[in-house]
Amino acid sequence: MANSTSGESVLQRISKILDTFDHSSPVQSALEISKRTGISRSTTYRMLHELCHEGFLRRIEDGRYSVGLKLWEYGVRANGFEHFGRLARPFLQGIHETLGFNVSLATLDQDEGAVVYLERVGARENTQDLTEVAGRLPAVLTATGMVLMAFSEPRIWERGLREITVEQLAKIGMDRPQLRALLAKIKSEGYCHLSGVLVPDSTGTSVPVFGKKRELLGAMTFVAPRQEVDLRTQLPVLVSGARSLGLAAAVPSPSANPTEWETYSFSALGV
């Protein structure tokens, strides 16, 4: 693809434009997009016109832009993460109703070293919980990310250890050898519990979700205030939910209706 004077390809500029849309900025003007991306106004206007023509963006009545339906369609039709998130929702709901905490399912973007949240159940406005569906957080700053790194291939460990910044190490209060030891401990014990890293009074507790052949599918996590944590009673609920989701995901039925699992009960597992 042709490059701009800045050296960016067309695809890179399109990615920068799409990246400007999020929960805080779902609708934007061309000028706002130009400022946020650093792309010239004329190029921004031209690319916005083309993106609207292809259905990736849409131009609303006041002249501003929002994400179009085509991106959503592509994600639903061809992305297994969408199905996995929908499949997980009844299990997350069961954990939420049992424990009373926000619960999420996430996967690891290995290239970016970030946790991507696929589904979440709990209070929409909760200052103790920074997770949101389709949102990202640094893997090394979350219990979710630590679990996903610990149970990934060793090269993922090494990359994370190599790329972690001094600021991130300061946030978790350890050096690289200590982080390596923590990842080994998480893999041995089967869970991660972090306290006060991103939010001072908040904790995250996470466990892996495995598939039929023990392949890592994701991580399930609950976020709770520090003073309300009792892992002796809460961790078994999370583990049971993650195991049950793994069993459900092993069923070869891509078109399965998630409501089939709505009657899921922890009491059936003896929890």
Of the candidates 155, 151, 223, 136, the one whose C-alpha atom is nearest the C-alpha of residue 183 is 151
Q: Which domain, by its residues, includes 206?
A: 79-269
Q: Per residue in 30-47, pLDDT tens?
A: 999 999 999 999 999 999
CATH number of the domain encompassing residue 204: 3.30.450.40
Domain shared by 178 and 46, yes or no: no
36 and 105 together in one domain? no
Q: Identify whether 2 is part of a domain.
A: no
Domain final position from 73, 102, 123: 73
41 lies in the same domain as 167: no
Instruction: Give yes or no: residues 64 and 154 share one domain.
Output: no
Which pLDDT does position 264 carry in this prediction? 35
Give me the residue label for tokens 């693809």: 1
Statement to judge: residues 245 and 144 lie in one domain: yes
Contact 105, 219 (CB under 8 A): yes
* CATH label of the domain that carries residue 60: 1.10.10.10
Structure-token pair, residue 200: 């001072």
Residues in contact with 172: Cβ distance below 8 Å, sequence separation at least 6, in sequence order: 140, 141, 179, 194, 197
Average pLDDT of the residues in 109-123: 86
Domain check: are 212 and 260 in the same one? yes
Q: How many domains does the chain have?
A: 2
Calculate mean pLDDT across residues 245-257: 69
CA distance 62 to 135: 28
**Same domain membership, residue 171 and residue 60:** no
Q: Which two tokens stand for residue 117?
A: 């949240």
Domain end among 25, 55, 73: 73
What 3-state class would DSSP assign to 243? helix
99 and 233 in a common domain: yes
CA distances from 94 to 6, 51, 83, 90 (A): 50, 40, 18, 6
Q: Is residue 180 part of a domain?
A: yes
- Same domain (yes/no): 62, 83: no
- pLDDT value of position 119: 92
Tell me the per-residue pLDDT of 56-107, one tens digit each, with 9 for 90 and over: 899 988 889 998 878 777 766 656 677 888 899 999 999 999 999 999 999 9
Shared domain for 171 and 52, answered yes or no, is no
**What's the whole-number average pLDDT of the chain?**
84
Q: Report yes or no on 5 lying in a domain.
A: no
Q: Where are the alpha helices (DSSP H) in 54-163?
A: 69-78, 80-99, 143-150, 154-163
Query: Do 65 and 53 touch, CB atoms closer than 8 A?
Result: no
CB atoms within 10 A of CB 76: 11
141 falls within a domain: yes
Q: Is residue 4 part of a domain?
A: no
Distance, CA of 191 to chain centre: 18
What is the per-residue pLDDT for 258?
Answer: 41
Instruction: Read off the pLDDT band of 6 (50, 70, 90).
Output: low
Regarding whether 50 and 113 lie in a shared domain, the answer is no
Of 18, 52, 73, the one marking the end of a domain is: 73
Tokens of 70: 């085509």
Specify burial of residue 60 (Cβ count, 10 A radius: 0-12, 13-18, 19+): exposed
Q: Both 51 and 106 in a single domain?
A: no
The set of residues, in sequence order, having a beta carbon less than 8 Å from that of 17 and lying 6+ positions away, is 33, 37, 39, 44, 47, 48, 51
